Amino acid sequence: MFNCNIGSAVLSVKRSLACSLVLIVSLFGSSVALSQSTSLQQSFDLQIPWHPIPVVIGGKKLLLYELHLTNFAPTDLTLTRIEIVDSVGVVLCDLRDSELKGIVGRIDHSVGADKLLIPPGGRALAYLSVPLGMSGANAIGLTHRIEYQASGHWDRTSVQGGAFTVSAVQPVSIRPPLHGGPWVAIYDTSWERGHRRVPYALQGSVHIPGRFAIDWIKVDKNGKYFDGDGSIVKDWYGYGAEVLAVADSVVAATRDGVPESATLIKNPASIKLEDASGNYIALDLGDGHYAFYEHLKPGSIRVKPNDHVRRGSVIALLGYTGESTAPHLHFHISDYNSPLNAEGLPYQLEQFTILGSYPSIETFGKSQLWSPAPVGLEVHLRGEFPAPLTVVEFPD
């Protein structure tokens, strides 16, 4: 996640000052408007297709969402700055230079120096993680100031839009989908092709089902995740682990019969989009929330559609089917009974214990021991979403 944290005390002072400025602007707004240039030009359309819901990650309340920027100008526009501003004018995030490049994705997968140059008709997505105060933050409105430079011009221009009020909805609370551990929460919002950065436009609208998806991989006390050289699927510690219902719910959909390779190769060499989830279960949690368990072991699914299941009951076993590079449980919650044509929703786990974390996916990939939780850190957590690359233990 990029860094745009501001201390609560500073925010309070800034909000007080901002309120005064808002009053001054309201008193003199007409004269200010008259002094501005009346020149009009085409620029960016700013849209937020999904209404963001705050979630607590690593002890911080965050708002994770995407700002879609489409260039309607007849020339190239280069993004130079994005500011997220609250309803009284306090800047919550100010993104420029390398931070800006780090949070922008392109539908055409452009990378490098040209990543911020948006051609006419082109679209970019800014993957935002905005810090909010732990209390009293659900009633604020947010808007976005975009600074850009048009091709052939030295001066920079700005446009404002994409305004919305932060949702007061609370994330659904669930029990963990696994038990025991150690389990590693494999995800990071900054990965170019991570779950959060893969939009799907399948039935007339674009969605990001894996916005809050976690791939759970089991390790031993030394940080290894398999016996031997790891080439045999059944040698992975998580393979065959019991997968649990996260709540009293109704089975919305299942899929079984997708074959599984016995060795750790791409499974199979070419995966169709409709087969990417492998064998899976979808549970209807109620109130428009669906829990998805993907890449399940063939023949292990113990439920069928319309079954009523109790929280904590075993519903399947962890496997290696579909588009998967290693045995793991892919778990996410979304707003519709479809693995891909749905919006990923945040959730909070009722309880889990932090054992430590990996500093990077590269460290994890070398099968090294994780860094233990710092002394003084609260490790027995309730009502939070696990942080990226956290090593946790779940209640049995």
The SS3 of residue 6 is coil
Domain-embedded: residue 141: yes
Residue span of the structural domain in which 317 resides: 172-394
CA 10 to chain centre: 27
Domain-embedded: residue 307: yes
Pair (198, 147) in one structural domain = no
Predicted TM-score (pTM) of the model is 0.88
DSSP letters spanning 240-254: TPEEE-SSSEEEEEE
Q: What does the pLDDT read at residue 35? A: 34
Q: List, for residues 238-272, the tens digit of each pLDDT value.
A: 999 999 999 999 999 999 999 999 998 766 656 78
Q: To 5 degrees, how large is the angle CA 86–CA 91–CA 97?
A: 135
Domain-embedded: residue 208: yes
Which tops the pLDDT comparison, 192 or 161? 161
Averaged pLDDT, 291-308: 98
CA gap 217, 307 in Å, rounded: 28
Pair (121, 219) in one structural domain = no
CA gap 49, 45 in Å, rounded: 12
Left, alpha or beta for 35 (phi > 0: left; psi -120 to 50: alpha)? alpha
Q: What does the pLDDT read at residue 135? A: 54
Pair (237, 341) in one structural domain = yes
**pLDDT band, residue 367 (cuts 50/70/90):** confident
Which tops the pLDDT comparison, 230 or 6? 230
CATH number of the structural domain spanning residue 308: 2.70.70.10
Pair (221, 134) in one structural domain = no
If one counts the domains in the chain, the total is 2
State yes or no: cis peptide before 346, omega within 30 of 0. Answer: no
Pair (197, 153) in one structural domain = no
